[in-house]
Structures are given as structure tokens and as C-alpha cells.
Amino acid sequence: MVSHGKRKSRADALGLESPDLAPATARYELWKAARTKSDGNMTSSSTVLISQRIFTRPQKQPIHDTIIHEDDDMAEAEDDPLSKLMTRLPRLKRAPLELYWDLKVFGLRPHVPVYITLTYALEVIGGDRMLNISIIQLWCMYMDTFVVDQSRSSMYGFVEPQTIQPSGNTLENRQHYLQTWMDESKRDVYLVSYIDGVIGKSRSQLVQILYPKVLDSWECDFYVMCWIKTIIRAVITDDWNERFKSTAPILEDTIRQIRQEWTAYLLQRWS
């Protein structure tokens, strides 16, 4: 468990207003260790600059002033989406990024954009917290690109996670959205991130991905994201109970891969 004092130090170094926003110290140390050679030198000059600019605060730098500098060339040289996203945190601190989905993704017009804020970006960078629903929305948008690329648009559909939340949505509205979307699009399988028993009978399969209770609470969102990806890439269409019966925790490498893919898609959409 990272102490409050260490969290505060990390928050000060990153120019963040709250210690709760600071990524875990252990992951920061792993970032540096992975890019440090046996002789003590870093793997490249760009790595040194990223480490200095992102993770250190000049002695005379006021704590309340962010010191994360933007330099896309450095991050691109590292070929690491998470590092590149860190260089763009100042932009998110000024204003959230607004992204819109295509009608075909969820069967809804995007009247409200998907907002990616500084806090949400730090949730992905840290990799050890519960994820905001906007992160799940963007993951579904990303996964839809695979469905299209694999010419399986008639097979898999996505249910917009915010629209089916009990909070702010009546049961009637949720039922109407789901039934209309399924009747009109006629996909074989609909992948659902969150649901509260709102659908009646349908010829299609409505697959709700539930995380095992043995997982830490923050892992549940990565579990859902991992299974959405697995179902689509492995072309899974049946035997759900058998496939979901495992209670094994998600491998750290798997979580990191999800974080990298999500971030790479975010950066691709960020123009």
C-alpha cells in the first residue's frame, strides 16, 4: 500500500492537485527500471529527457504549477503509447478531450460526447484503479474497428454502457433502446459491459460479462475489457458459462497490453 506521503510527493512532482491522482510509485519505478541499462545509463537520450521532464520538479518550480512538458517526438521515439499520453496530460488539465462515436457502434446518435479527462487518463496510466465508464465506452469504439476490419459487423454488436445504467435512465427507456437496437441491427451477439435486467426475449444473444468476485474491485473493468477483446478476436459465439467459469486473476502483462491498446486508440483519435 503506497503511503499518503509518497502519494503526495508523486502528486507534487507531477503538478497534480490531489495525491489521489498520482500514479502508483511502484509503476513509476518500473518505468524507469525498464529503461535503465546495467551500467546505470538510460536506453536513449529521449528516455532521459522524458524521465527528467515528467518525473522531476525543478527546485524553484512552484508546486501548483504543472511541470509535465509536451514533446511528442520524445514519446514517439520510445514507441510507448502510455509515455506519449503522459506528455499530453497538460492539455487534459486545461480541458477534457471530446470524442464522438459513429451511429453504427451503439445504434445511438452521440448527443453527448465521450469525455476523456485528466483523471480518466491517469486511471489508465496508473493501471490500479477503477475505471470511469468513458474509458469503457472508448474501448467499445476501438473494438468496433476490429469487428469492421474482420468483416463481422453482422455478428457482433455493442450496447452503449451509459444508456443502460439505472441512474438517469428509466427502465422503459433502457428496454426501448436495447430492443430497438437489437431488432434493427440484427447482430448475432451483443456485448454488454453493464446491465440491470432490462431485456426481454430476442433471437440474438445478449452477453453480459461479469467479473469474478475474487478479483480486486479495480480489476473488474480490465476483466470486462479483456473478455470483449478475446470474444471478438477469437470469434466466440457460444458456450459462455464454460468460458467465463475461470476465477483466475488477470495477468499484469494482459492489463498492461489493454492499457497500451486503449491509449494507442485514444492518441489515434486525438487530432
Quick one: 39 and 80 in the same domain? yes
Report the C-alpha gap between 116 and 100 in whole angstroms: 11
Claim to verify: residue 27 and residue 136 sit in the same structural domain:
no
d(C-alpha 224, C-alpha 210), whole Å: 7
Strand partners, 98: 115
Q: Is 105 exposed, middle or buried (CB count within 10 Å of its CB: 0-12, 13-18, 19+)?
A: buried
Domain's final residue, options 37, 62, 94? 94
For residue 222, the enclosing domain spans: 97-269
* Statement to judge: residues 106 and 13 lie in one domain: no
Predicted TM-score (pTM) of this structure:
0.70
> Distance (Å, rounded) from C-alpha 8 to C-alpha 131?
21
Sheet holding 205-208, edge to edge: 156-158, 189-192, 205-208
Q: What tens-digit pLDDT sequence spans the chain (271 residues)?
A: 445 666 666 566 555 666 666 655 444 444 455 555 556 565 555 454 444 444 433 333 333 333 344 444 444 445 799 999 999 999 999 999 999 999 999 999 877 899 999 999 999 999 988 899 999 999 999 999 999 999 999 999 999 988 888 777 888 998 899 899 999 999 999 998 865 544 444 456 777 776 665 556 678 889 889 989 999 998 988 877 777 777 777 888 999 999 999 999 999 999 7
Among 72, 94, 116, identify where a domain stops: 94
Residues 127 and 240 in one domain: yes
- Count of structural domains within the chain: 2
Q: H or E element: which one contains 97?
A: strand 97-99
144 contact partners, CB below 8 Å, separation of at least 6: 102, 104, 105, 158
